[in-house]
Amino acid sequence: GNSVTQMEGPVTLSEEAFLTINCTYTATGYPSLFWYVQYPGEGLQLLLKATKADDKGSNKGFEATYRKETTSFHLEKGSVQVSDSAVYFCALSDRGGSNYKLTFGKGTLLTVNP
Amino acid sequence: NAGVTQTPKFQVLKTGQSMTLQCAQDMNHEYMSWYRQDPGMGLRLIHYSVGAGITDQGEVPNGYNVSRSTTEDFPLRLLSAAPSQTSVYFCASSYSGSPSTDTQYFGPGTRLTVL
């Protein structure tokens, strides 16, 4: 079955530091890949997505590239801010058939200090 | 446009009690779903619905019941609560249900504790 593995947290950075959160996946076929963000006390929000190999998703300064050869979708940001403190989830969904289900990683807590 | 709303925000139950978690959306979305979030496990799909009158099981459906009588509402019923159902519950909706093409909108969650 499908699965998502993302780096264990928590991750603590200083403001303006570079961020990488690793994510690898196992799936049959060619899934779509997502990063969701959960700010304290809120539900999940879609941060970015990529639906085919070599696509780059980007939003709010965050980027992730769909790497089929390494089955990875690592999240990066060049300069984090305190407001980026949140839990980040990598996820995938199948692209064919009844593809309603999102398979999530365990989440990575990011704390950014001023 | 309120998006996806969930009530209550917090709930404490005793083992064996029943209750209903409410979820509503005002975006005219056909697809709605329920996830539970447990520490160190990410989110897991409980039940989903692709339209009024149609529901199906997700990954972890045991102990939960759903119905979809209107497009707007998708309540989740706990028939006889157990401590293993202590979790944070999220409702989500989207236009078609395909995450590849449609953004899934999540509610703010209900934190449930079963003693």
pLDDT at A53: 92
Rounded CA-CA distance A14/A9 in Å is: 15
CB contact under 8 A, B99 and A99: yes
A53-101 pLDDT, tens per residue? Answer: 999 999 999 999 999 999 999 999 999 999 999 999 999 987 665 567 8
pLDDT bin (cut points 50, 70, 90) of residue B96 is confident
B18-34 pLDDT, tens per residue? Answer: 999 999 999 999 999 99
Mean pLDDT of the residues in chain A: 92
pLDDT at A54: 95
Mutation choice for B interface testing from A4, A21, A36, A44 by most B CBs within 10 A: A44
> Measured between CB atoms, does A27 come within 8 Å of chain B?
no
Alpha carbon of A17 to those of A36, A40, A86, B69, B92: distances in Å?
Answer: 21, 21, 15, 49, 33
Q: What is the DSSP letter of A53?
A: T
pLDDT at B72: 96
pLDDT at A99: 61
Tokens of B36: 């539970």
Residue A58's DSSP bridge partners are A63
